[in-house]
Structure 1
Amino acid sequence: MNILIVSQHYYPEQFRINDISFELAKRGHKVTVLTGLPNYPEGKIYDGYQNKQNRNQIVNGVHIIRTSLIGRGKSLLTFGINYAWFAIAGKQKAKTLHEDFDVIFSYQTSPVSMVWPAIEVKNRQNIPLVLYCLDQWPISITTGPFSKGTLAYSFFWRLSVDTYNKADRILITSKSFENYFNKELKLSTEKYGLDYWPQYAEDIYQNTVQNINGTYDVLYAGNIGPAADVEVIVKAAEYLKEHKNIHFHIVGDGVNRQNCEQMAINAGLDNITFYGSHKVDEMKQYYDLADAFLITMKDNEVVNYTLPAKMQSYMLAGKTIIGAINGETKRVIQDADCGYCGPSGDAHRLAENILKASEDEQDTYGRGKNARMYYHSHFDKEKLLDELEKIFQEEIDRKKIGK
């Protein structure tokens, strides 16, 4: 197949679409990616991609075409400019693509308007568009300054429904998404499929080792943004500061990182270390260090629907998972019997669960084994890629017979 992937975020940014595209290329497909300029999460265009550098690249057999982009910065205004810029400039760039593709795969994070360049190619070439929804719109904007019932929300509701309606098939990362699409957006499963296609983890996470150093090391790896609620981890570290055998490790970056670091300084904590952002191929050292993984998110309708991508990485690594999180993630932790989970925002309960896990090494080993078993049963990479190829082919065949 000749596959066009449209994603605002792509290599060298650290998103799972990188691995998906590389694996599709390994399987013999011709893969082209239309994307923007890398700037996530810092908000500044990466070195080597400014002044029209690297607008066309070949990486691991994938042809990358980049449109111009303004960095997302740190403010709501610059976020908005960044989002609109890719939607408009990407659509213009799409008009210059003359290659005949078989199918388009849109990797839709936020905002939903990042799908517009894919719609442009779909309309021009009359080929199927498979939309992979990782962030539900417009409900995702309620994690920020907008709420339901506002004019802004109504505007984005219409924009979102119109965009999703342009897809031939929609894949969802969480089973809970189906209810939202059916009831809130009035988009039926019968018409759009709404197939559950969960994320998988990169292979690097399956070879982690068990760290034995006399310290119980707990790791949070991922974005440090408003929804992630890493602040609750800092508060838990403060509760446990007298337990010298427990140490917290925070790997990642985001708009709330500075606030979290300042909280730790103000509390005089020496049991927590911040490492900043690292590439996927650099993460093994931190996963090896960990005795348990932490996952936290704010209590929010949007967040509760989702299963953060780090869950699959944690589960494949095969260690205990300790959460302060509600919804889909809590359900998976309980179903897999792979850790402990308290309510979102409950630092005291999080501290209690970390302490409980640290006091039972055998229990920790068993729950880690359960995590890996659950991963292979539900998120196996090769099975999911086989399924994705099948979906692409089904849509290509359906388009050919005019259905």
Structure 2
Amino acid sequence: MRVGILTYHFPPEPAFIPGSLAEELAARGHEVRVLTGFPDYPGGHVYPGWRQRWRHETRSRGLTVRRVPRYSTGDGAVRPRMAAWLSFAASTAFVGRSYLAGVDVLYVHQPPAAAFASAALLRLLGQVPVVLHVPDVWAEQSVEDTDDDRWAARVRAAMARTYRSASTIAVSAPSLREAVVATGVEADRVPVVLNWTDERIFRPAPAGSAARGLVRRDDRCVVMHAGTIGARQGLETAVRAAAALENTMDLVLVGSGGQERRVRGLAAELRADNVRFVERRSPLDMPELYAAADYQLVMLRDLPALRGTVPGKLQAALSCAAPVVASTGGDTAALVERARAGLSCPPGDWASLADRFWLAAQIPPPARAEMGRRGRQAYLREMSLSAGVDRIEGLLREAAANPREKTDTPVRKSISSE
């Protein structure tokens, strides 16, 4: 097939899903044309060595990447961010009609940042069938730091237009499917395609002496949280749970984030000597650190917007055969329980999490290893790169063979009028 890919972020930015999909489709013999912007995430400034211009195209082994200029925000404020989104929409509309002419099907990786671009571009491409891949529902998480509901409504309306145009709307978690179907989209148009991880990095590895030195002090059970220490994780709950089990287990927090100071302060206040902090490490170091710990902790606060979120650290842990303790609701806990890859408890309840920590420490090492083995099997079966690309490739073939007639009928009145 001739496959077009529209994505706001693309490697060298940390945009692993669209990047690995494009490479894999090209490796399978498809002609792939990517339309994206110049790399500026996460700092909001174009990467050193890059210069925005209209004529920038790279080609390699069936994969062509065309980059278009967009406004670089420089910060995370809502108005500059919206200006960046709108400028990307204008640039893709200007270039896209000619660059994507002749594609059999268009894949759109659509977080809210791509909403305006996809809505504008699809008007120009006529009857080209579209497979839309939605990692989040609507734009609440992208405009949560502003009181300007007008921007949120505009983003929702742009996403709704893409929903109406799409042949298929792939979502990354079962709860997202329910939310999309609830907007009025036909259920048979909304398959679940779980995200994958970077399998070149995240695979089973032995724990080296350096990793053990960072993670372990003795033979006690170690639960490790690796990643952002932010508002969405709610790691204060984990600190309180660990403090109640000072002589039973260690909690090791690897990473940094906006809530790090607060979490460190709580650990000091509770005199939780079994809570330790390790500075952010390279992703290349993580498999050895995973192996040095006994469990990986996956935490999300109990917020409606997060119940349909499956954090990437879950796939990374499962791919590395690391057993999991999940303090989450919704899809993440369900995946862990279904795979029998660890333990779970409701989010935000430190007493329940303390109970899970205690139980985790009592489970003998062979049983922990079996949890990790089952988790890796579930990853390979349901979440791996090959499984995900197989699924999306099938959706692209189906859409190309059976293009859906587009319509301007609203999905549901409340969506476009919010």
What TM-score do the two structures reach when normalised by structure 2? Answer: 0.80
Say if 1:43 and 1:350 are closer, same or farther in 2 by CA, change over 3 A.
farther
What is the match of residue 189 of structure 1? 187
Query: Is 1:30 paired with 2:31?
Result: yes
Secondary structure in 1 matching 2:99: coil
What is the match of residue 12 of structure 1? 12
Runs of at least 5 residues in structure 1 that lack an aligned partner in the other structure? none
Query: Is 1:327 paired with 2:330?
Result: yes
Deviates more, 1:154-163 or 1:98-107: 154-163
Residue 389 of structure 2 aligns with an amino acid whose one-letter code is L
- Per-residue deviation, 1:249: 3.4
Say if 1:90 and 1:286 are closer, same or farther in 2 by CA, change over 3 A.
farther
Query: Is 1:108 paired with 2:106?
Result: no
Query: Is 1:229 paired with 2:228?
Result: no
What is the match of residue 218 of structure 1? 223
Deviations along 1:205-234, one digit per CA (max 9) or x if unpaired, are 233336766454433344555434345445
Secondary structure in 1 matching 2:174: coil
- Per-residue deviation, 1:199: 1.5
Say if 1:318 and 1:131 are closer, same or farther in 2 by CA, change over 3 A.
same
Distance 1:196 1:329 in 2: 14
Secondary structure in 2 matching 1:25: helix
Say if 1:54 and 1:363 are closer, same or farther in 2 by CA, change over 3 A.
farther
Deviations along 1:313-363, one digit per CA (max 9) or x if unpaired, are 221211111122111111112222221222222344334423432343233
Distance 1:56 1:223 in 2: 34
Say if 1:287 and 1:10 are closer, same or farther in 2 by CA, change over 3 A.
farther
What is the match of residue 203 of structure 1? 199
Query: Is 1:391 paired with 2:413?
Result: no
Secondary structure in 2 matching 1:187: coil
Secondary structure in 1 matching 2:348: coil
Deviations along 1:276-319, one digit per CA (max 9) or x if unpaired, are 3745x554343343322121112122211232333222212111
Is the CA contact 2:127–2:406 (under 8 Å) kept in the aligned structure 1?
Answer: no
What is the match of residue 365 of structure 1? 369
The RMSD of aligned alpha carbons is 3.5
Identity %: 20
Distance 2:60 2:250 in 1: 41
Distance 1:161 1:108 in 2: 11
Deviations along 1:20-53, one digit per CA (max 9) or x if unpaired, are 2221121122222222232333444332234559
What is the match of residue 97 of structure 1? 99
What is the match of residue 179 of structure 1? 178
Distance 1:400 1:343 in 2: 41
- Per-residue deviation, 1:273: 2.9
Secondary structure in 1 matching 2:389: helix
Is the CA contact 1:2–1:102 (under 8 Å) kept in the aligned structure 2?
Answer: yes
Deviates more, 1:26-35 or 1:350-359: 350-359
Say if 1:47 and 1:285 are closer, same or farther in 2 by CA, change over 3 A.
farther
Say if 1:357 and 1:34 are closer, same or farther in 2 by CA, change over 3 A.
same
Distance 2:22 2:236 in 1: 34
What is the match of residue 136 of structure 2? 135
What TM-score do the two structures reach when normalised by structure 1? Answer: 0.82
- Per-residue deviation, 1:130: 0.7
Distance 2:204 2:12 in 1: 23
Distance 2:324 2:204 in 1: 17
Residue 162 of structure 2 aligns with an amino acid whose one-letter code is T
Residue 115 of structure 2 aligns with an amino acid whose one-letter code is S
Structural mapping, 1:294-313, within 5 Å: 294-313=297-316
Say if 1:121 and 1:72 are closer, same or farther in 2 by CA, change over 3 A.
farther
Distance 2:367 2:240 in 1: 25
Deviates more, 1:30-39 or 1:48-57: 48-57
The partner residue of 1:248 within 245, 252, 263 is: 252
Distance 1:244 1:38 in 2: 46
- Per-residue deviation, 1:141: 5.3
What is the match of residue 85 of structure 1? 87
Say if 1:400 and 1:322 are closer, same or farther in 2 by CA, change over 3 A.
closer
Distance 2:83 2:228 in 1: 21
Residue 108 of structure 2 aligns with an amino acid whose one-letter code is S
Deviations along 1:352-402, one digit per CA (max 9) or x if unpaired, are 423432343233222212212222332243233223222211111113999
What is the match of residue 3 of structure 1? 3
Say if 1:265 and 1:302 are closer, same or farther in 2 by CA, change over 3 A.
closer
Residue 385 of structure 2 aligns with an amino acid whose one-letter code is K
Distance 1:38 1:282 in 2: 25
Count residues in correspondence.
391
Deviations along 1:151-190, one digit per CA (max 9) or x if unpaired, are 665544433322311222211111222321222x222225
Deviates more, 1:15-24 or 1:202-211: 202-211
Is the CA contact 1:237–1:351 (under 8 Å) kept in the aligned structure 2?
Answer: yes
Say if 1:320 and 1:202 are closer, same or farther in 2 by CA, change over 3 A.
same
Distance 1:74 1:98 in 2: 31
Distance 2:64 2:206 in 1: 35
Residue 349 of structure 2 aligns with an amino acid whose one-letter code is D
Distance 1:297 1:109 in 2: 20
- Per-residue deviation, 1:112: 5.2
- Per-residue deviation, 1:131: 0.3
